[in-house]
Structure 1
């Protein structure tokens, strides 16, 4: 019975066609996880939803969300006995995925996809732990996965589907029909069904108010903290687009790593339809756009906000989104005010560094001055900022690291003068296969095995125990010093900044909200 309760979205009364498996970041059978919440696997849920609409009985096993170990995850799959097990392969979780795959009943066919499968297909196909692999799907999988569930023989006519020839041992692949391959590789995202949230064990979820929420509620003497929702909105994650036009060298979404992906944005009416559907069914009133860049192109922002205004979205919902600093820098005050009026609460920005030299190496097309200017304008309008930063980027010097620490503290000082808050989320650099910086590192003599040696790092020794609690899924490293700064100093700085941010989270806005 426990197995069935951990399997999301499946019909227990009928045989299973497929279990979609999100592998854990580490073997939680050896050490329990400390995160209370992890981001939902929306891409996997899209595929599961499409397969379900096509008539297949499928479920999602989110081993990360449930904190499962390798043995328990494999046992659940074997006990539920699906025809297929499907895994999304990511570099940090590949070892966990491979260990689970190795333990599966040989009667269960295996298919895989995800960034790691796309970047290193031959390595995956040659892994003996993947010996039951029948299909490796490159790119977006909705249509091709449904075709494979119908009949594995369809793989011979599906573009971007690979497998290992059992006789020759060589790579085999489907022969694409030129009339249908474009749609198979990049489906019409407005034609896809809305994600069935039954596949997501932690979405929608009850969110904790952020410091910006507290500040704004207090300054307006009204708002969501005074309406009885003292524990926060009911929130859901959503995707508004696919693909990214930028080429940040460290990012798996970089266009040079995804030449097959055509950038597509959902129509405003399609997005608003999903917002209203989630509100009607679950009572959701807050949304997080987690695509690569929802606020990443001026034309798209204008189109979406015109529709949001027409449908009075800001009167009914609040939302957070990913954004691009150089695009927001070109927005007028009127356009920022329109974003606020339409419900924008917080924007997530890839700030990455306070060093202009490092930003140029990352191909970010921004500088520290631009970031501070944009952040000041956003928080002045009451829009919160969540900034992501990378420490230890290849070639980073002690001066570069010092500039990043100074930059973060400058941003905090800016926030202290305005209604919106700025949160800093800091990570140690780790290379992802297929990205531009990965290619550079390989040319510089690093070996793939070295760059893939992901391991979790315990930062509590730096005195940041509680502040590290919600970062359990992010404290990963390949254990290589890529710049001039020793890893010990990188990690001590990461822990210091995270501890300072944790203290700000505890205190910022509390007096105003009291």
Structure 2
């Protein structure tokens, strides 16, 4: 029995402009590990990392004819995954998973295929095994002929209650560890599931996911995985923690210090704009000393009005003060910004740009780097804004999310630019100009002061 796991493609054709980091699909890797440990034949096709066009992927599946095909799905590639499923002409069984399936399962039920489709919302490791072995111990929450929808949350026996119990076989990934374009080798780990915050543009928002547990691995478990990485991949210099939010409270900051201080890895992760609000400078220095060389922080906007609307911190001075703590400790920051939120004005956008400029100047003052990653707002399935827009009369299914060729041409790279319309109060030309100018605050020097392993002259 053969199962193919698919990290689903983002684009229909091979796109030379796409130069984003292709991160290994750890979630699929965990599923594959469980299947392999139970004696099942399983392979993983990473259509993103290998830049596999949709037609080529479909041809491969029609040649291999696996008994089961399990794929992730996102708002941005819904149409591609749908076409993939409807283009498979042999008898198989599809399993579709991802955060967006909370809302998308009804649409997936309507896909034009005679093959059965199971939609899984939540943890996929344990339930995928029982689907394939035909040993399901739990009924679907929704069903139709040839279609089932399973919600693996707190009440499900298939939720992974203790993350320490899961193991990851890294041999599934074609890009793990990653030879980073900036000149170092990096491995990726996940240490938690779920988010404590409530951003209205995010499908992981706590208010919409109370049926799913927030879980963290123990320090001992994380250290054990780092030991394996150090042993199996001696050239790895950096660890990237791919949690939705690794550093979220003072507790998790101290936990990170305790975990990484026993290793000589540099490491990077997500943090919240409020993570360091009450963190003393001495702790920030310990964080730096533990190997923290860059943090990814969702700033999103410099407009108090917009920040309030998306449930983010509205006090700009507080945002600046919190990020300055990291700069002062010698930690670089990658700041995420979004332009084009519903009802956003040019004045709001100008505030965002000016905040980015201010943070860039403060970082330079402390000899570290602040780089920007900038996106046009797009409504994701399963988010509060998506629901709000629908209640206001928007039919978001009429115009699917698609690559923004105009913006991609303007910035000279794809940079994960997708859109399905402009929801702001400004013309698209103005919106694109702010995105372009904020991206161009980057000067090519991504990291600074990283010590002996990651020298600045590498970049």
Q: Secondary structure at the match of 1:184?
A: coil
Q: Does 1:498 align with 2:439?
A: yes
- Partner residue of 2:220 out of 263, 269, 272: 269
* Structure with greater helix percent: 1
Structure 1 residue 49: Cα displacement: 1.2
Q: CA RMSD in A?
A: 2.5
Correspondences of 1:201-220 after superposition (within 5 Å): 201-209=174-182
1:469-503 alpha-carbon deviations (Å, 9 max, x no partner)? 5x1xx11110x2212111221112212222332x3
Question: Which residue of the partner structure matches residue 97 of structure 2?
Answer: 113
Correspondences of 1:28-427 after superposition (within 5 Å): 28=13, 31-32=15-16, 34-35=18-19, 37-128=21-112, 130-151=113-134, 154-155=135-136, 157-158=137-138, 162-166=142-146, 181-193=155-167, 195-209=168-182, 231-232=183-184, 234-283=185-234, 284-309=236-261, 312-313=262-263, 316-427=264-375
Q: Secondary structure at the match of 1:387?
A: strand
Change in 2 beyond 3 A, CA 1:189/1:511: closer
Structure 1 residue 446: Cα displacement: 0.6
1:287-318 alpha-carbon deviations (Å, 9 max, x no partner)? 01111111012223323433444xx23xx111
1:210-265 alpha-carbon deviations (Å, 9 max, x no partner)? xxxxxxxxxxxxxxxxxxxxx32x20111111000111000111112222211001
Residue pair 2:369, 2:447 contacting (<8 A) in 1 also: no
- Give unmatched runs, 5+ long, in structure 2: none
Matches of 2:76 and 2:354, distance apart in 1: 30
Residue pair 1:46, 1:142 contacting (<8 A) in 2 also: yes
- The alignment's TM-score, normalised by the length of structure 1, stands at 0.83
- Give unmatched runs, 5+ long, in structure 1: 1-15, 210-230
- Partner residue of 2:423 out of 477, 482, 501: 482
Structure 1 residue 512: Cα displacement: 7.2
The more displaced of 61-70 and 347-356 is: 61-70
Change in 2 beyond 3 A, CA 1:174/1:363: closer
Residue pair 1:90, 1:116 contacting (<8 A) in 2 also: yes
Matches of 1:460 and 1:118, distance apart in 2: 30
Structure 1 residue 322: Cα displacement: 0.6
Change in 2 beyond 3 A, CA 1:119/1:185: farther
Change in 2 beyond 3 A, CA 1:506/1:147: closer
Q: Does 1:440 align with 2:388?
A: yes
Matches of 1:452 and 1:512, distance apart in 2: 42
Matches of 2:142 and 2:281, distance apart in 1: 50
Structure 1 residue 43: Cα displacement: 1.1
Q: Which runs of 4+ in 1 moved over 6 A?
A: 506-512
Structure 1 residue 161: Cα displacement: 6.4
Q: Secondary structure at the match of 2:122?
A: coil
- The alignment's TM-score, normalised by the length of structure 2, stands at 0.92
Matches of 2:350 and 2:62, distance apart in 1: 51
Question: Which residue of the partner structure matches residue 23 of structure 1?
Answer: 8
Count matched residues.
453
Matches of 2:333 and 2:155, distance apart in 1: 40
Q: Which has the larger radius of gyration?
A: 1
Change in 2 beyond 3 A, CA 1:246/1:507: closer
Structure 1 residue 173: Cα displacement: 5.7
